[in-house]
Amino acid sequence: MISAKQTVSGALLLSAAAAPIAQAQAQEATLTPSRPQGAAGCLFWRSPEPSAAPPCVALQFAAEMEAVNLRNKGLRLGDKRSNKLELEPLLRLNAQFMKNSPVDGGLELEWQRVIKRESAKPARKQTRLNLNQAWVRLTDRVIPHTEWKLGRWLYRDEREWLIDENLDGLGLRWKYVDWSADLLLARVNLWQKDLMDRTSRNTDPVNIIGVLLRRQLTDDWHIGLYGFNQHNVSNHRFRQSHYGIRSYSEEAKRFNHWLEAGFAKGHNKSDRIQGYVFDIGATYAFKMSGIKPYLTLGYTASSKNYTQTGLQGNEAKFGGDTKFKIYGETLDPLLRNLQIFTLGIGANIGKKASLDLVYHDYSQLRREKIANKAIALSPKYDRQTTRRLGYGIDLIYGWKPTSSVKLETRLGIFQPSARFASGSKASSPRSQPASFAAVELKIAF
């Protein structure tokens, strides 16, 4: 099953000089100013004068349709296979206030209809009104070299390796010459996220304290180190800390690389967390006219008692214009007692399209039962006869024929090793593969 996601995005700018909201591409309509200038030094309608004041309010609207299907989630055989289908139409409103002013703000509201279907289970339907973001920011025009953000805001680190989450609290960004740092003091869903569901407020008071330090060595080469702590302050049953160093060059034209070396320590109830992780890889782009091919090699290893933060996205690009799960779309593993070899080939087809074919080989560093929720699949019969788990192949295609239209397709398959059986008997055959598919269409106007 291929999923479909359709985004219809339009922008209405009530401003003096239209400016795009983060990650928004909006076309602007010329309006006549209703008055010379607002009280805060901005116009409420667009002015034809290029030197006019900054916008008071910029609005962007989007409509999306997403469908995701995961087949044979339990790694079974024949009619025992279980499938999962999710449909998520949504409408989104983004607003930015007083952009380019010393103090500005942002808001993101999202209406969502979630429909989930699983084999042998009735369909589940839920309507949500999510408050994704609501923040106020003090720019570096207030305090030089710093940016303060208070409220609910989205934070993503490099390759979404530590965190891809909306946080409630305080964020501080400092930048001076080639150095920069982010300080995070926050919680996840401290305030109610779904305005139609009071239970969407997180009742577990897990404090997050994070510091990410970076230095820019060249135009496209950065190094950094981080410390990231999570602590349930009510019962102390959950506490984990992550420390590490990193190097990356995502924006290089010919050679991109990444390097992560980290350590985790803590506990989650009775589960002890203490281990290391190492992730290294590179992408090399070849010089060719028309089609511009690139090659990616990567290796990842995480020890038995290591685990990621639980807030990670594990999404990035290798060389094209489309993000995808860097450790595999179908298995989508958490880095814990896992070894992954990655080989990818891809090409930018002109300026409008890119294609990636990625192979992952999975094995455990120590042969044991797979940790709960460590992978997206739920194998019922794991014989644990070998460290090898299997291999996965992903195909990712991105096409952008115009500035307002983009199509993204992600297909994946996971071929399990002999340790995964279709039944409980010793003579039961090996499980059949699992597969994943998704399509995303974005239309902006």
Range of the domain at 305: 76-86+113-444
Residue 445 is predicted with a pLDDT of 67
The 3-state DSSP class for residue 360 equals: strand
**DSSP 8-state code for residue 194:** B
CA 358 – CA 372 distance, rounded (Å) = 26
Residues 366 and 422 in one domain: yes
pLDDT, tens only, 139-169: 999 999 999 999 999 999 999 999 999 999 9
Pairing of strands 338-349, 6-14: unpaired
Question: What is the total count of domains within the chain?
Answer: 2
Residue 404 is predicted with a pLDDT of 80
The whole-model pTM stands at 0.86
Residues 102 and 146 in one domain: no
**CATH code of 285's domain:** 2.40.160.100
**Cα-based distances in Å from 127 to 87, 90, 152, 190, 194:** 12, 10, 21, 21, 9
DSSP 37-68: --TTS-BSS--S-TTPPPBSEEEEEEEEEEEE
Residues 253 and 223 in one domain: yes
Residue 6 is predicted with a pLDDT of 44
CA 410 – CA 412 distance, rounded (Å) = 7
Residues 81 and 38 in one domain: no
Residues 66 and 160 in one domain: no
Residues 248 and 354 in one domain: yes
Residues 142 and 70 in one domain: no
CA 34 – CA 52 distance, rounded (Å) = 13
For the chain, which ranges sit under pLDDT 70? 1-55, 78-79, 252, 445
Q: 114, 113, 121: which is closest to 73 by C-alpha?
A: 121
Residues 199 and 92 in one domain: no
Residues 57 and 82 in one domain: no
Residues 150 and 136 in one domain: yes
